[in-house]
Each structure stands twice: as structure tokens, then as C-alpha cells.
Amino acid sequence: MTILQVPRVAFLGVCDRFSKVRNVDPNLSGLNVIGLRREVVSSIYPLPLGSLGLVFAVYDAASTSELRIVGTAKSIGASFWINVGFRPYPAGQVPIDPMAPQELLISSELSWATFVMPFPETMKLIAAPDRFELCLEQDAEKIPVGTLDFLYAPALPLTEDRIAAIRSDPRASKYARMELGCQNCNAKINIYTGLEKSTEFQDQGVIWYREIADRFRCECGNTDIDLRFLRESFHSVLGERTSSREETISLTQLYEVGALETTADRFYRLLDRDPEEIEVQSFLEETPLLFHRFSPAKILKKAPLLNRYQTDFAILSRSGELVLVEIEKPGKKLLRKDGGRSADFNHALDQVQDWLYIIQEHRLACLEMMGLKNDRVTAIRGVVIVGRDIRHDREQLRKLKSSDLGPITLFTYDDLAQGLEVLIAEMKEL
């Protein structure tokens, strides 16, 4: 029988965040690790690493006072190292700071213990996609313990439908800036991206990302950074909701609370005028924020369904759900006096049902005409937006909204407005 010798340390991957789980017996406590993976896929390089944690497992940590782990990139020559110390605790004793790796609870049994370490200060950015090989340094020997791949995924183009989706996200950004430089000679370059160019940034000497050179080389020759990834995909950060990059990338929020309140006021004023459908269509096209409840990744105006129909909007959500939206005049009634559905509402339902039938029968052709890939669409449903709450009996309207309309959802224009009010209240509490 062959006995396979394995290292006492294993690299498990990187995680987005983690939390300590404490049980009655502290020796049984462990980690909840979120987003564990061995490949980091990003549209941004240089890539900030501040939010990522390195996850390791060590065997028989009680007999180990300290470990030294080294990571070396295969192509760009970058490297980092971390020292990890362990301090065992007597059975039943709870550490002061259970999150600290050096205070990792060590079982007296021969078993594996897991710990998380941040990237060291010297490795807060990775300049380009690469593979890192991680080794345990022990007795002047380097023992491989795992690999970590950084991969590049070009961002989707900043098309009109993508910009509309970003504008629908109240927490999105309208500008992003990154400063890169050399620590030796203090040479710097400031780069920005946005939904449009900024005269203010241009006057400050900040360079539009599409206009940067292939590389940034400092005067002393110690820093040489490939900028082509930023030139192609820096705009991807505009649609991100994470704050993990804020140390390196400064973001300018798209909306302030005051702007949201102004939008809500304008919307109510429009509805109170009982506008025609075409005017409402234009307002929603200019103010896609009112569609934020659908978490759009793309918003298509007048999307075709073969050569037979045209939706008012088609929204592809971040989860891959395709929502076909039919809007009607705010002044149209949903219910008759006896509580039954109005002819206008039934007509709108029939319209959306026809859309859903067509796209079910000719899915690939319909998605292709919309410019959508079949594997990106996980589900398809319909939405009808029509009428005002104030023009109907409250109980009858509540019953209609809670009724089963199959794959179609009903919203009134007051539902859209109230969704915006809830959003404003949430942002005021931040």
C-alpha cells in the first residue's frame, strides 16, 4: 500500500467575506465562508484585492507556531508572502477576538483547522490576469499548496439599453475614478469612466478611459502597467453595487436623495394630468429608475416580437428573467362598478398573453431579434401597468391585485410611485 504524503497546509481559495460561528464548546467553532472560489473573474485590471480573503486549511495546527506562505505569479512576476501564527486555547476558553487568525482555536486532536487572511499591504492590486502558485516555505523548501487564477472577462458594451439599466439602479454610479502610480518616483495617472464625459474631470487632468495609452510607465522605470483592460472595460464598475473597490476606485453616485424626491414629484404631477400613453412612455424612457424593482441588466424600448408585435418595454433582470411590459393610460379603469375586470384591463391582459404565446412558440427567433442570448434568459413573464389606485374601491382593487393572473403581474402607476417613495425612505436612513 502506497502512503501519499500531502502538505499540512492546503489553499482552499479566496472568499468575498466570512464570519465566525461560535458554538458552546469553542473548540467546535468554525467559519462561514461566502463566495469561496479558486478563480477570480473580473473586467477590471489592475484589480483591487482589498475585499478578498485568502482561505487556508492547516492540519495539526496545535504543533505549529508559525507558517510562511508565498504566492508567485507565473507571468507578471508579482509575489506576496504572509506569516501566520497560531495560539492554542485551553478547552472551553473563548478567545477575546475569535476573528483574528492568530487566535484561531486549535483542537488538541489531529484534525484540520480553517483560517482566512487578507492579502498583504504589498499586494493590494494585481496588475493583469495571471495564475498565482502558492507554496509553503518550510526548512528552506517550497511545498506547493494550491493555485489561484485571475481571469479577464470583457465587460458588456455600454449600449443605450445597458445605460438605461444602470440609470434604473438607485445605487449605481455615474462616474468612477482610479489613480495609479509609482511609489518610488511618485509618477501618477488619473483615469475616469462614466455614463458620459465630464468637463470637470477633463479640466482636472483626469483622462477619459477610452483615451488612455496602452501602458503606464513611470519615470524611474519601476512601474509598468498594462492599461488595455481598463480602456476596454472600466465602465463595468458603473453598474456595480459593491463598495469593495472604494479604496482604489472612487465612485460618484448617480442619484442623491434630493434628485429622487424631484423625480417622484415630477411623476406624480404627470399622473395627475391624466396624460396619454405616449407621454407616459417618454417619461419612463427618460426615467428608468421607476423600473428599479425589476433589477434590470438591460432595458429595451419597443422590443420586437417577430414582425407581429412590439412591447412597450422588455426588461432583462440581473437574474436572467425577461419581463415584457405593457403600459396603458393612467386614466384607464381596471374595474367595473360591480367589481369585475374592465374591458381596458382585459384587453391589456390579452395583449401580453399573445406576447407570451409568441415568444414561447418562437423563443430563439424572438430573443435574437431583441439582441438577447438564449442562455442568458432563465424565465419569461409579463407585466401590465395601468390605472390609478385612487379611482377604484380599495377592497376591490386589493382583491384584483392579489388574484392569480398566471405569468402576468399587475401594477398601477401608484405602485411604481410608491416603490420610489420606499426607496427614498431607505436611502435617507443610510
pLDDT digits (tens, 9 = 90+) for 156-189: 899 999 999 999 988 889 999 999 988 888 899 9
Residues 6 or more apart in contact with residue 242 via CB below 8 angstroms: 51
> pLDDT tens, 364-411?
999 999 999 999 999 999 999 999 998 888 899 999 999 999 999 999
Q: Where along the chain do its domains lie?
A: 9-152, 173-253, 257-428
Q: Is 406 left (phi over 0), alpha (psi -120 to 50) or beta?
A: left
Q: What cell does 424 get?
A: 427614498
User: pTM of this prediction?
Assistant: 0.79
Is residue 48 within 8 A of residue 125, CB to CB? The reply is yes
Digit-coded pLDDT (tens) for 260-306: 999 999 999 999 999 999 999 999 999 999 999 999 999 999 999 99
- Smallest Cα–Cα separation from 170: which of 287, 266, 18? 287
Q: Beta strand 47-48 with 125-126: parallel, antiparallel or unpaired?
A: antiparallel
3 DSSP 8-state letter: P
Residue 139: pLDDT over 90: no
Q: Looking at residue 88, what is its pLDDT?
A: 62
Select from 3.30.470.30, 3.40.91.30, 3.30.420.40, 3.30.1490.20 the CATH code of 257-428: 3.40.91.30
Choose between 52 and 122: higher pLDDT: 52
Q: Is the pLDDT of residue 259 over 80?
A: yes
Q: Quote the CA–CA distance of 123 and 108 in Å, as a whole number.
A: 34
Report the amino acid identity of residue 287: T
The DSSP 8-state label assigned to residue 157 in this structure reads P
At 38 the pLDDT is 94
DSSP, res 124: S
Among residues of the chain, what percentage have pLDDT more than 90? Answer: 60
Please give the average per-residue pLDDT across 314-335, as a whole number. Answer: 95
